[in-house]
Amino acid sequence: MSMIVFRYLHFLGITFWIGTAVAVAFAASAPTPWESGIAQALRRVTLRVTTPSMLFAFVGGFGMLIPEFTEVYAKQGWMHAKLALLLALAGATGLLSGKLRRWAEGQDVQGTTFARLAGVISTLAVLIVTLAVLRPF
């Protein structure tokens, strides 16, 4: 596959992954009645959009990373920091999915939990993009 295909797949995946994760977390943090089915709807969005988008972002990113890893990226400190933050971002997305599952099953989940997750996901995304653009070290 061409490098440009991996790049587009990576950018498209990132956009939908971060966008839907933050939107779902903010929507879940708003006070809503249980009868509205909002928990099940947000969970479906996470399962059908956020998770596949995360996989697209990983495939595209690793498709660009692997061919040039030893010659270029293995020596770049910013890439190591970016990959570490990426793992934290994937973990935060998994935490969001788990909290949504619990909420959809009827367990009590605090709205502030979702608001915090939205902040964490947003902050990690900004840090990752900053590292990718500026390549500070």
Choose the weakest-confidence range: 5-19, 77-91, 103-117, 119-133.
103-117
pLDDT value of residue 35: 55
* Structure tokens belonging to residue 84: 């570490």
Domain boundaries, given as residue ranges, for the chain: 3-134
Residue 33 has pLDDT above 60, yes or no: no
For residue 130, name the pLDDT band (cuts at 50, 70, 90): very high
39 vs 85: which has the higher pLDDT:
85
Determine the angle formed by the axes of helices 77-104 and 38-45, rounding to 10 degrees. 150
Q: C-alpha distances in angstroms, 84 versus 27, 72, 89, 90, 128?
A: 28, 17, 9, 10, 9
Question: Count of H helices and E strands in the chain?
Answer: 5, 0
Q: What is the pLDDT of residue 27?
A: 92
The amino acid that residue 64 corresponds to is M
Cα diameter, the chain = 56
**Could you tell me the pTM of the whole model?**
0.90
The band of 34, judged by pLDDT with boundaries at 50, 70 and 90, is: low
47-64 pLDDT, tens digit per residue, is 999 999 999 999 999 999
